[in-house]
A and B are shown apart, each in its own frame.
Chain A
Amino acid sequence: MPIANYLYLAAILFTIGAVGVIVRRNAIVVFMCIELMLNAANLAFVTFARINGNLEGQVVAFFTMVVAACEVVVGLAIIVTIYRSRRSASVDDASLLKR
């Protein structure tokens, strides 16, 4: 199997994630889509590491996972707090920063 297929898969996963972020209202789903985009990037990193025959891409993938884990902790906490105060997990309802 040609190695480029991994890259195509990563691109598809990223696109799905991006479209999900844009079109979905539920904060949890949006959050999952962001994770999907991060993992698509990770997949691309690992693939490039394989193509180039070194370890740098794999190292970056580990970093990304750590950052993503932290992000999940903070993000879920925010979402839960918003849900508690507003009884809704819709990102459109939390638009207080508009004029």
Chain B
Amino acid sequence: MQISENLVWFIALPLFSSAILLLVGKRANSWGHIAATTVSASTFVIGVIEFFAMQARPEENRAVVQKLFTWISVGSFNVDASLLLDQLSICFVLLITGVGTLIHIYSISYMSHDLDRRRFFAYLNLFIASMLLLVLGDSYLNLYVGWEGVGLASYLLIGFWNQKPAYATAAKKAFVANRVGDVGLSLAIMIAFATFGDVTFSGIKEQTDAASTAQLTAIGLMLLLAACGKSAQFPLQSWLGDAMAGPTPVSALIHAATMVTAGVYLITRSSFIFDEAPIAQLMVLIVGAVTLLFGAIIGTAKDDIKKALAASTMSQIGYMILATGLGPIGYAFAIMHLLTHGFFKASMFLGAGSVMHGMKDEVNMRKYGGIGKFMPITAITFGLGYLAIIGVPPFAGFYSKDKIIETAFNAGGIKGIALGIATLLGAAITAFYMTRVVILTFFGNERWGHKDEPHESPALMLIPIALLSIGSVASGYLLSRGKSLVNWLEPVVNPLKEHHAEELFSHTTVSLMTISVVIIGVSIAVRKYRGDQSDTAPEKVSKLTIAARKDLFQDSLNEAAFMRPGQSLIQKLLNIDHLVIDGAVRSVGVVSISAGSKLRSLQNGYVRSYALMMVIGVLSLIAVIWVVTA
């Protein structure tokens, strides 16, 4: 392990800048956004330097560590606050700082009319710092700090416009749903500590043989719960749609490209646990498969462009989670899809933001239509992202998604066939709903119902979108060329235990199948949405559409199964508190008061009665002494 002194700047710079922007206050309004963007760009530069330095080193020497300080030292239990930059973290560092910087630049223009732009940038920097701590921490405890930090930043940014009560509620919902996952992570850390006496990744990795499968399964399931919360996976996915209340750059950065992929990072980082716990791994697969279909189905029915994209994010992360569940061979593909998804989804979200910017913050796609000719650059970049997400060769999504589908089919047995069909179906639905989004937004009749024509966004917004769409075109080819990413990640994800089952379908067959289902999906959408559309959602629709519009009743389920019983439980506890706890305290008071008022009558002010009492006291004392000594 190499020692490095530079890693601390990844976290210190954005954290410091965030603190400055928040503490200096209004005086920083004129330069706050510039400072925050510069800081974000400089972390990206450090990331690039570290990447090339890492590439220059021999494979077994690539990871670097930096010990910051001894955090907890109790007896034999020692936790250092130390950072680890290895082949896996550098992927995330480059994604976070790179996409993060582009989104900072975009936000300068997007938020230029907002009075609170400085505060927005302070939160963005806070997010960058926390997310980098999350991926750079060398132990679960350090990761947990970053994990909570991004949760906080996400909460602050979703509720950035908290003067609208609905947005504040959305922020709270995201926070509460995330807390459920966080409990899972903290339980996983506790079990890991009880089992191994250690919380560092390297320490646990060495000891996995010593633990029983049951212990590893417990840790794995708790980690999966954590991943479900942060990555909006079934059954904790309901917050992501509402999280779109935040400003669009936030949706692009936090709720599409980076933070929501933290669950994928967590599972990949814990590969040594999941590889030894087949039940936990199976649960990962199930969660991934369910969510990718769940998200895709929801995506088909949403008229809010951001919510449609959010459902798509949910579904794509489902793909990644499913890939991580496929064992050693899947991790690299999950990370590959994560990186390509970071590019094309961020580009599409920023494109959606650009459309909203031109359309006076209208988000309902039924009120769009024909925007393509007014905003050509946005339309083209969005189109590139669209081709990437549905997996048209040679765009990025083709390389990454195909690999996942292929690996799923080849997982062996009925499991492989079921997963393969689920991923293939997901690909078809993805093609359908993304085509729907594109047609409703950029083609067809103009339905916005006012005379002002939409205008193209300023260059400061278009340049980041263009750069991201270049990424969504090229990243898939670059990452898969000569298996570059797979080989790069090999030392981290332990592919030594890889075993080759016989292949069900060859690579070409899977590609052909995927392309054909994508064509089917696209053509259904084109048939359905070509021509003039109404500017209101149709009323007479199938039951499935109604369900999809309501997020497949996840909110109702949560409300009926958790929220109402939880509230009634709390009401009961409150009553117990009033009756028992407060009752006990109050009755102490009541007893004291009544005893006092009884005893008070002894103090009658008559000297003679006091004297009598003294005499009685002395006499009884003498009597006692007499009895005791005799």
Contacts and interface: CB of A to CB of B under 8 A. Distances in A.
A94 B607 CA distance: 8
B615 A92 contact: no
B603 A97 contact: yes
Interface in A63-96: 91-92, 94-96
Nearest to B601: A99
B604 to A, nearest CB: 5
A30 B610 CA distance: 13
B69 interface: no
B603 A91 contact: no
A96 B605 CA distance: 6
A22 B604 contact: no
Size class of A's contact patch?
10 to 19
B611 interface: yes
A84 to B, nearest CB: 19
Contacts of A7: none
Contact of A95 (B600, B606, B611): B606
B608 interface: yes
Interface in A13-41: 18, 21-23, 25, 30
Size class of B's contact patch?
10 to 19
B612 interface: yes
Contacts of A96: 605
Contacts of B600: 99
Given A18-B615, A22-B615, A99 B603 contact: yes
Contacts of A94: 607
Q: Which of A21, A22, A91, A99 has the most CB of B within 10 A?
A: A22
A34 B604 CA distance: 21
A28 to B, nearest CB: 13
A98 B606 CA distance: 8
Interface in B587-616: 600-601, 603-608, 611-612, 615
Given A18-B615, A22-B615, A98 B608 contact: no
A98 B612 contact: no
Contact of B604 (A18, A21, A30, A98): A98
Nearest to A19: B615
Contacts of A98: 603-606
A97 B615 contact: no
A90 to B, nearest CB: 10
Q: Which of A23, A30, A96, A98 has the most CB of B within 10 A?
A: A98
Contact of A97 (B605, B608, B611, B612): B605
B612 A22 contact: yes
Nearest to B609: A22
A91 B611 CA distance: 12
B612 A95 contact: no
Nearest to A15: B615
Contacts of B615: 18, 22
B605 A21 contact: no
Contacts of A25: 608
Given A18-B615, A22-B615, A92 B608 contact: yes
Contacts of A23: 608
A91 B604 contact: no
B227 to A, nearest CB: 70
Contacts of B611: 18, 21-22
B603 A21 contact: no
A25 B607 CA distance: 9
B596 to A, nearest CB: 11
A91 B610 CA distance: 12
Nearest to A92: B606
A49 B600 CA distance: 44
Contacts of B606: 91-92, 95, 98
B615 to A, nearest CB: 6
B617 to A, nearest CB: 12
A97 B600 CA distance: 11
21 contacts: A18-B615, A21-B611, A22-B608, A22-B611, A22-B612, A22-B615, A23-B608, A25-B608, A91-B608, A92-B606, A92-B608, A94-B607, A95-B605, A95-B606, A97-B603, A97-B605, A98-B605, A99-B600, A99-B603, A99-B604, A99-B605
Given A94-B607, A95-B606, 18 more contacts: A18-B611, A21-B611, A22-B608, A22-B612, A22-B615, A30-B607, A30-B608, A91-B606, A91-B607, A92-B608, A95-B604, A95-B607, A96-B605, A97-B603, A97-B605, A98-B605, A99-B601, A99-B603
The list of the 9 closest CB pairs from A to B, nearest first, reads: A98-B605, A95-B605, A97-B605, A91-B607, A98-B604, A21-B611, A22-B612, A95-B606, A22-B611
Interface of B: 600-601, 603-608, 611-612, 615
